[in-house]
A and B are shown apart, each in its own frame.
Chain A
């Protein structure tokens, strides 16, 4: 008896090809959209998390002004190199302290030019940012002290200016400064913020101050804390030290900001997750729209179906058999649509992950949820119009206009 019901359901799917295809399509689009969005969003979140791990959670950044961001007021008292030296000397459990100043400058070599981030710092910079020198060397003490015209370049700058040719010993021009390439940094890729970390030229701070900036200021100070030490404690120590050095009375607000990189990254992760949630909501709407599409198709065909149900009842189909047939039909269509949707979504996710450079993270939960939702929608809209018709007296169903 069940086999007969399945036979009838399959015959019905076959004879209503258009309706079946449209039903499946609605489910396919909904399921594929939800799964793709969530999978890609999940990949992006994982990527951010991985970057946090690679960056280390022990980074502090000290900048002048009350807070980091667009509201920064001018006229803040800038840091000097002495501030960085004081932190390195007075604060225990600090692993490395790097005073950093930087700005975007056009670098020129031969007939090539490339606008890049020129950073003035010292060898501590490489320790703090966890970067190593791939070839060549770091700055020597005398170069740092005298403000020599030497530089260490990142991968991107090397490619843009030298096109992969030997750069060591060549001289690149930064504004009026012509400096010799003495080292090449290991490639690091994109940062959490989406900037290219290899698009950089590092020169000694002294050189930067004299030849580029024309003052003795330090833009900000980057600090890495020793492993196993709470950054909060170090943060407080630095604040106390800087308040002292800047002669702030207890009633004054800080005119500098010590920021834990962990917080910035948490904020970024939050943003990524929010974005994922947003995209998922959009995708959920498309699933809903797919469901409404199915409902429309089913309701449009309800007159024809009601008469058919009348015929079936008249020639001896039990109410339960008619309903079972429609249920099987709805389940078959929905699951088929759901499965196509899943396959499509996984293919699209792998492809998009490749293009967007995010890892492909399979999320079994969302696949299951999307599939079940599609199945429920399909069954509800396929089954309930039939339920109403099957309860009618056969003669009423036959007369349905």
Chain B
């Protein structure tokens, strides 16, 4: 297993984008999702990425999460030039440093909450007893103690998203990416999820990057980055909350 050598110093940003573009398709049908984005995120931040549909916020997050690759530009994660990594090296980056929460939860069906949360640890090669202990711990953190053996079909939307968050944090990632994590939930459930994320950021120092198009969800973040037409429109600390 090839490990990735970091050249990190204390004040180095965890994420740094320079002139990143993303083009889908070619020629006449080409769609410019990102037109040159510069972005810097430091350890321990809670960043909300906002913008209307098609503004490029999700594309940007997918690139940050190494789920997608930029067409041009430089992306440094903890000082590593991500675009020079192979596909498998990017997978290992996700495995060891990144966590994901999706709008649609994306849990495995007919699989218990515990096994869903265990999954990333299996790919890490963690021994069974350690895996179980961590998974129980993560489910407790998200407030699902006692629901370990339930399958997604037996859980509410809010509970499913908590399982997804537990799965994302069980590996203690450096950065947690959340793509519209409350998009399918009602206001009360949304607030619970956001409180959970704030707690993770505050108490465990997890860097969080969240995509949302709802102002009152973005209000929970410490910093709001607004996208428009594939460019960063504004990038400022969240005055109301911080």
Contacts and interface: CB of A to CB of B under 8 A. Distances in A.
A380 B19 CA distance: 44
B179 to A, nearest CB: 10
Interface in B122-150: 122-125
A395 B100 CA distance: 12
Top 8 A-B pairs, shortest CB-CB distance: A316-B95, A15-B110, A395-B67, A315-B120, A316-B123, A394-B67, A395-B68, A311-B106
Main secondary structure of the interface of A (DSSP, over half): helix
A395 B70 CA distance: 13
Nearest to B116: A311
A311 B62 contact: no
Interface stretch (A1-9, A161-169, A206-214): A1-9
A317 B100 contact: no
Interface string A1-40: 1001001100100011000000000000000000000000
B120 A316 contact: yes
A11 B96 contact: no
Interface of A: 1, 4, 7-8, 11, 15-16, 304, 307-308, 310-321, 393-395, 398
A395 B119 CA distance: 18
Given A314-B65, A316-B92, 12 more contacts: A8-B122, A15-B109, A15-B110, A312-B119, A312-B123, A315-B94, A315-B123, A316-B96, A317-B91, A318-B91, A319-B87, A319-B88
Interface string B94-116: 11100110100011111100010
Nearest to A8: B122
Contacts of B96: 316
Contacts of B109: 15, 304
Contacts of A307: 106
Nearest to A304: B109
Nearest to B106: A311
A301 to B, nearest CB: 11
Contact of B108 (A311, A316, A321): A311
Contacts of B91: 313, 316-319
Interface of B: 62, 65, 67-69, 87-88, 91-92, 94-96, 99-100, 102, 106-111, 115, 119-120, 122-125, 167, 171
Contacts of A317: 91, 95, 123
Contacts of B119: 312, 315
Given A312-B119, A315-B123, A393 B69 contact: yes
Nearest to B93: A316
A294 B100 CA distance: 34
A394 B61 CA distance: 13
5 contacts: A312-B123, A314-B100, A315-B167, A316-B91, A316-B94
A89 B167 CA distance: 101
Given A314-B100, A316-B91, A395-B62, A16 B110 contact: yes
Given A314-B100, A395-B68, A398-B102, A321 B123 contact: yes
Contacts of A7: 122
Given A316-B123, A395-B62, A11 B106 contact: no
Contact of B100 (A4, A308, A315): A315
A4 B131 CA distance: 12
